[in-house]
Structure 1
Amino acid sequence: MEGTIFSIIPAVIMLVLVLLTRKVLVSLGAGIIVGALFIHDFAVVDSIQEIGIIFYNIFISDGSINIGNIYLLSFLLLLGMLTAFLTASGGSRAFGDWMINRVRTRNGAQVMTAIMGLIIFIDDYFNSLAVGQIARPLTDRHKISRAKLAYFIDSTSAPVTVISPISSWGAYIIGIIGGLLATNEITNIQPLEAFITMIPLNFYAFTAILLVFLVAFLKMDIGAMRKHEDRAKTEGKLLKPGESNVPGDLSDAFEPHQQGRIYHLLVPIGVLIVATVTAMVLTGMNASGAKVTILTTFANTNVNLSLFLGGIASVLTALVFHLQQGQPKANWEKILFEGIKTMLPAIYILLLAWMIGSVIGTLETGQYLAQIVSDASISSAFLPLLFFIIAGLMALATGTSWGTFGIMLPIAAEVAVITDVSMLLPALSAVLAGSVFGDHCTPISDTTILSSTGAGSNHIDHVLTQLPYALIAAFASAIGYLIIGITNQVVFALLAALIVVVLVGFVIQFFNKTK
């Protein structure tokens, strides 16, 4: 069943169950089991062994420890410890008190969160988790639902990193583009120049970011998001009543220290940022060999190791502050335990997401969707739109932007060079845009999971509340790609996409006011 239409069934089952049951672990588990049965033609024993091997390979691959995954899982535990210390020390409460007097409106708190999401553009993982830690005390005080905080984090992290050449994403993409240009013997443009030229062609990145600010300014609360926001504003409940197993939520674990100060929050987070970025630069320079540049540094940086080192440094800093406070409300062993416990739901989801990603990879779901594009006879004017849609579907089904980049960028380049070379950069940009769009819609995306974790939001609440906004940005982007294919006018196409988002925003605002 590999590489056929049947290969998409496990992903479809998983997505349908998520929507129907809202139980992400059950839904992911069902997708994994069905996928394993498909791989082994419904041989039960072999399928069970396949699931065991997939889980084993998360930690040990090709006879060696899969240290990257272990670093990331360890960082999540460290983040839980850090969150617990920031809460127990009273630092989060003190920061919230301080900010409430400076950012006095809900709109201001939302805009501040969005701006922080744009500033931290080095890496999407780092963005998702760091912005959550900084913004949550402020958004909690202004009674902004955790689901909306997760949306702000997720819809600024990947969109800003995918258009930044000085980021882990930018470096990775530039590396792929360099290989594609060489393979197709295109010598009139260099990889970095091509990437920069493609930035205004990434319509989804710009429409998604614009939509975040429109949501903040125009109060564009639609669908499930409106229910979360109404509950937060009227009842002060940032999470759905009865919600359990929410990553990073320590509201009932212990009473914050009464002598907490702002620096009890800002210094540990500052250490996290400085230590992580420093480690990223050093690991990237070390892996670049003799030729060290900004691009090679970020292309070769070890993000997971850097997060782990930054996490250790920040937790130790928070621990020192905690011990200095004297007669704390909770002892440090309990704080560590509660911090670890609150991160376990996120780790469970991440492990199962990795497992279903492996199953989908074995079933060659991505290759099947890519083959549809290769076999299609279509006018070159529709190539950007087609690649945007297919890349979105692939990222939705596989849960990975980077995996979609790796599969779809070479196909887009080959098709564009053969049919109409002027569509090369628009087609490549459409793949990048579609990958981020699909990533925003799927519950098995690493970035989506970490955005929920950073915000302290229920994961499925985040997915369902973000989905309408992702679809709005995708609709506007699709119009842009249709225009760019017909006219080849970049500015006109980008402006059209942005105008569509603004118009939709004002229409939604109008209907919200009439209700």
Structure 2
Amino acid sequence: MQNSGKLAFAIFLLALIAAQFINSKVQKVWVEQSYVYDLYDNEQGRLSYMFKGQEITIEQIVPYASSPLNQANLSNGQPPELGQQWVDQDGQVKLLKPAFHFGLWSLLPAFLTVALCLLTREPLTALFAGIVSGAIMLGNYDLTDKVLIPNLSTEGAAALLLLYLWLLGGLLGIWSKTGAAQAFAEFMTEKFVTGPRSAKCISWMLGVLFFQGGTMSTVLVGTTVRPLADKAKVSHEEMSYIVDSTASPIASVLAFNAWPAYIQALIFVPGVSFLATEADRISFFFSSIPFSFYGIFAVIGTLLLSLNITTFAGARIRAAKARADRTGQLDGPDATPLTAKELQHPEVPSHYKPHYLEFLIPLVSLISCAVLTFVFLGSPKVNWAFGVALLLAFFISLAKGMSLIDVMDGFGSGLKSVVYASVILLLAVIVGAISKEIGAGLYLVSQIGETLPFWLLPITLQLMTMLIAFSTGTSWGTYAIAFPLAMPLSWGIAVNSGMDNPEIFMMICFATVLNGSVYGDQCSPISDTTILSSMTTGCDLMDHVKSQIVPASFAAAIAGLLWTLCAVLFT
């Protein structure tokens, strides 16, 4: 361990030297990025579009050739004076924005973070090291005022603190103080759970049922199943893998969620009839689902593990299962779980009698609120859902006779239990933002050209998006980078190759970007879903990362082979 610490320190110092060299000597490569919106004429007859529920009016449109943000003008290497500009290119109106990368050097912060995570098993210092290296690359030496505070003062950071620190932490704390979580586990054990296998199967079924994907599914499933899984002595490595691998993977297959509406705006290709309108693009999304091989095999893999079939689960998960079966220890001897011991050994007041409904009623309200807001408002209001559940748990405990002091003691213990994980989550978001700003994804995308053989494009897109999502910790951010470039590229290769079924080839390439991004997000130690899977199941973050990557990579390898075969056989 001491040697790994010295190696980690040496890597960190070399990274800082490299970051300073990049800032002073490496020239930025500027790249044109274009965005296509569904435009319409508003009541005043002005061209407009909707963004986050608000109507935005386009003030000025210039010809593409005269824009300083087109690729020809950006290639001179000089920083552009404009941040964005609306242009008309061959009759199509789109928004141009400049972006840059440092070539291969753009991967430095992500590489440093992941390397230090693996070497030290200490994510906080690894994430901070990644932030420092990225900040130096950008010339931001004032880490507090120029890097940390601007990122922590954003709406997204505030939402993370509200949801995962106050609402989730407070709810877990009250459930622990009242004994509601333990009562629910005992009820489920008495009625449904007969051992580790049935506990894992219930967890898998809930993961499939909560197919909204991402952080919402991870938190809902993790908080629901942990009490019964702990009572059934299921290892935390197994549980975190099941929770994580039935979040985004199932959302890409049962896509009755917000994913199609978001992604359709990124896949418009001029002149392609089956991607012409929003309805066409959503239809294309659902038509491509049979090619979502990674999502399908990832969910099947967790089902096999739930049935105690560990052939494809990897040595670490098999060892964790054997440890839990033999000793009852849910974590490894050197593990640092992302929850506090207060929640694992609650102190319920002697006069208070817990009941499983104290867990079930807030949980049902949480799920109902999330689903109903999705149905009626178009997106699930997760903060509302957890807020309602927290208030219900709070007032139920008071109504049953628990003192306000005891309730607030439980609430405070819940906050303390998730502070460490919340800090990790916020730092991970900052690392992802820095990686995006220095162009890690853009550089990887730029390595693909139209001279690539058509049958190699699907697996190339898969590997590219896996790397981007793993480096940035976000699948949706990867979609925003990869889809606007991958879809026109795949269409160009399809046309140049004279394919009989170019639409099927486009579906295959679409699925590789969709699924490759899910894999990279799922396996990345700086991903919010990875961190939350560890937090809600009580697993050590790096134990989760290391144990999950083997079965996930196995599913990804099978998917890559099938995409290549489909490209050869069906197009």
TM range (shorter): 0.7 to 0.9
1:431 maps onto 2:521 in alignment:
no
Query: CA, structure 1 residues 97+32, in 2 after alignment: closer, same or farther (shift >3 Å)?
Result: same
Q: How much has 1:327 moved relative to structure 2? A: 4.8
The structure 1 segments of at least 4 consecutive aligned residues displaced by more than 6 Å after TM superposition are none
**Which of 231, 238, 243 is the equivalent residue of 1:141?**
231
Which residue pairs with 1:3 in the alignment?
Answer: 102
**Aligned amino acid, residue 415 of structure 2:** I
**Which of 360, 372, 388 is the equivalent residue of 1:266?**
360
**Which of 163, 185, 208 is the equivalent residue of 1:96?**
185
**Aligned amino acid, residue 6 of structure 1:** W
Equivalent residues in 2 for 1:251-290 (5 A)? 251-255=344-348, 259-282=353-376, 284=377
| Contact preservation (8 Å) 2:179, 2:346 | no
Q: How much has 1:253 moved relative to structure 2? A: 4.7
CA distance in 1, matches of 2:346, 2:404: 11
| Contact preservation (8 Å) 1:88, 1:330 | no
Query: CA, structure 1 residues 343+131, in 2 after alignment: closer, same or farther (shift >3 Å)?
Result: same
**Which of 544, 547, 550 is the equivalent residue of 1:468?**
550
1:48 maps onto 2:141 in alignment:
yes
| Deviation sequence 1:190-248 (CA, Å, 0-9, x none) | 11220111101111000100111111224315322233222222222222346446236
**Aligned amino acid, residue 328 of structure 2:** G
Which residue pairs with 1:400 in the alignment?
Answer: 474
**Which of 401, 410, 414 is the equivalent residue of 1:326?**
401
- The structure with more strand, counted as a fraction of residues: 2
| Deviation sequence 1:44-65 (CA, Å, 0-9, x none) | xxx33256323222244xxxxx
Aligned length: 455
1:338 maps onto 2:413 in alignment:
yes
CA distance in 2, matches of 1:123, 1:209: 13
- The structure with more helix, counted as a fraction of residues: 1
Which residue pairs with 1:498 in the alignment?
Answer: none
Query: CA, structure 1 residues 383+327, in 2 after alignment: closer, same or farther (shift >3 Å)?
Result: closer
**Aligned amino acid, residue 179 of structure 2:** G
Query: CA, structure 1 residues 124+362, in 2 after alignment: closer, same or farther (shift >3 Å)?
Result: closer
Which residue pairs with 1:508 in the alignment?
Answer: none
**Which of 468, 472, 480 is the equivalent residue of 2:562?**
480
| Deviation sequence 1:149-204 (CA, Å, 0-9, x none) | 11111100001112333212232123323xx14x3442477112201111011110
Query: CA, structure 1 residues 330+259, in 2 after alignment: closer, same or farther (shift >3 Å)?
Result: farther
| Deviation sequence 1:321-353 (CA, Å, 0-9, x none) | 211232569711211110111111111111111
CA distance in 1, matches of 2:110, 2:336: 26
CA distance in 1, matches of 2:250, 2:340: 24
Which residue pairs with 1:380 in the alignment?
Answer: 454
1:369 maps onto 2:461 in alignment:
no
Query: CA, structure 1 residues 242+486, in 2 after alignment: closer, same or farther (shift >3 Å)?
Result: closer
CA distance in 2, matches of 1:408, 1:252: 46
| Contact preservation (8 Å) 2:458, 2:564 | yes
1:389 maps onto 2:463 in alignment:
yes
Q: Secondary structure at the match of 1:86?
A: helix
Which residue pairs with 1:506 in the alignment?
Answer: none
CA distance in 2, matches of 1:463, 1:244: 13
CA distance in 2, matches of 1:319, 1:483: 55
Which residue pairs with 1:293 in the alignment?
Answer: none
Q: RMSD over aligned Cα, in angstroms?
A: 2.1
Range 213-222 or range 14-23, more displaced:
213-222
**Aligned amino acid, residue 295 of structure 2:** A
CA distance in 2, matches of 1:432, 1:215: 24
**Aligned amino acid, residue 365 of structure 2:** V
Q: How much has 1:461 moved relative to structure 2? A: 1.6
Which residue pairs with 1:39 in the alignment?
Answer: 138
**Aligned amino acid, residue 94 of structure 1:** A
Q: How much has 1:252 moved relative to structure 2? A: 3.2
Equivalent residues in 2 for 1:124-273 (5 A)? 124-177=214-267, 180-181=268-269, 183-187=270-274, 190-220=280-310, 221-241=313-333, 243-244=335-336, 246-247=338-339, 250-255=343-348, 259-273=353-367
Equivalent residues in 2 for 1:45-84 (5 A)? 47-49=140-142, 52-60=145-153, 66-77=154-165, 78-84=167-173
| Contact preservation (8 Å) 1:80, 1:248 | no
**Aligned amino acid, residue 412 of structure 2:** F
CA distance in 1, matches of 2:521, 2:150: 23
Q: Secondary structure at the match of 1:420?
A: helix
Range 427-436 or range 101-110, more displaced:
101-110
Q: How much has 1:450 moved relative to structure 2? A: 1.6
Which residue pairs with 1:499 in the alignment?
Answer: none
Q: Which one has more relative contact order, counting CA pairs under 8 Å at least 6 apart?
A: 1
**Aligned amino acid, residue 273 of structure 2:** I
Query: CA, structure 1 residues 394+259, in 2 after alignment: closer, same or farther (shift >3 Å)?
Result: same
Structure 1: which 5+ residue stretches go unaligned?
Answer: 41-46, 61-65, 285-296, 490-515
Structure 2: which 5+ residue stretches go unaligned?
Answer: 1-25, 27-100, 496-501
CA distance in 2, matches of 1:171, 1:55: 32
CA distance in 2, matches of 1:32, 1:72: 19
| Contact preservation (8 Å) 1:391, 1:404 | yes
Query: CA, structure 1 residues 185+248, in 2 after alignment: closer, same or farther (shift >3 Å)?
Result: farther
Which residue pairs with 2:491 in the alignment?
Answer: 417
TM-score by length of structure 1 reads: 0.84
CA distance in 1, matches of 2:142, 2:254: 42
**Aligned amino acid, residue 48 of structure 1:** Y
CA distance in 2, matches of 1:448, 1:156: 12
Query: CA, structure 1 residues 429+51, in 2 after alignment: closer, same or farther (shift >3 Å)?
Result: farther
Q: Secondary structure at the match of 2:339?
A: coil
| Contact preservation (8 Å) 1:161, 1:168 | no
CA distance in 1, matches of 2:407, 2:511: 49
CA distance in 2, matches of 1:71, 1:263: 29
Q: How much has 1:311 moved relative to structure 2? A: 1.6
